[in-house]
Amino acid sequence: MSNYILTYTKIKFFPLEPVKEGIIIEDIAHSLSLMTRANGHCSHFYSVAQHSIQCYKEAKSRGYSERVQLGCLLHDASESYISDLTRPVKCNLPEYSCIEAKLQSIIYDRFGLGDLSHEERKQIEDVDDTLLHYEFEELMDFPIFDVPPKKVTEHDFAQRDFVSVEQEFMAIFNGLR
């Protein structure tokens, strides 16, 4: 079992040799709903799936395309297969970054986003940074940026049970598909 992980839906997934057909949205939604943001250093449990949902909502409120909204929902999907590393560690492990980028690219391709433009990717990144700032401000009482980024909508950073988050993630995904 050293070359693959067994996913929630019982798929043998090879993270270093990913194939599109092995990427299942239910695995992503379930896994991300159980993973915490900031490596668990929040005031309460706040999942990566909650973050992804808030990114989707921000993108929608900004009037971004449904492709960008879906990109925001899925922008951390690779974490469901390979976990995440804190930024200071990740920047010192270039091989991990390559593995993550390859996997995220295949995930985007799997869900029709393989051809995201530079502008669409920038919109996703901007939304992600915006939520990062407000999550840290709310959940850790520590603003990331000296000048808060512009947000278009209010966000809910409350602790939620993973089942309701997983269901909301799936409902949003299905609504965009």
Structure confidence at residue 43 as a pLDDT band (50, 70, 90): very high
Structure confidence at residue 2 as a pLDDT band (50, 70, 90): confident
**pLDDT in the model for residue 146:** 95
Question: Model confidence over 102-111: pLDDT tens digits?
Answer: 999 999 999 9
Global confidence as pTM: 0.96
Structure confidence at residue 55 as a pLDDT band (50, 70, 90): very high
Q: Give 34's contacts (C-beta < 8 A, 6+ positions apart).
A: 47, 162
Q: Ramachandran region of residue 38, left (φ > 0), alpha (ψ -120 to 50) or beta? A: left
Structure confidence at residue 70 as a pLDDT band (50, 70, 90): very high
What is the DSSP secondary-structure string of 43-96?
SS--BHHHHHHHHHHHHHHTT--HHHHHHHHHTTTTHHHH----HHHHTT-HHH
What's the token pair of residue 78?
Answer: 């690779």
Cα–Cα distance for residue pair 13/21, rounded to 1 Å = 10
What's the token pair of residue 42?
Answer: 């929040």
* Domains and their CATH numbers in the chain: 20-176 (1.10.3210.10)
Cα–Cα distance for residue pair 46/119, rounded to 1 Å = 29
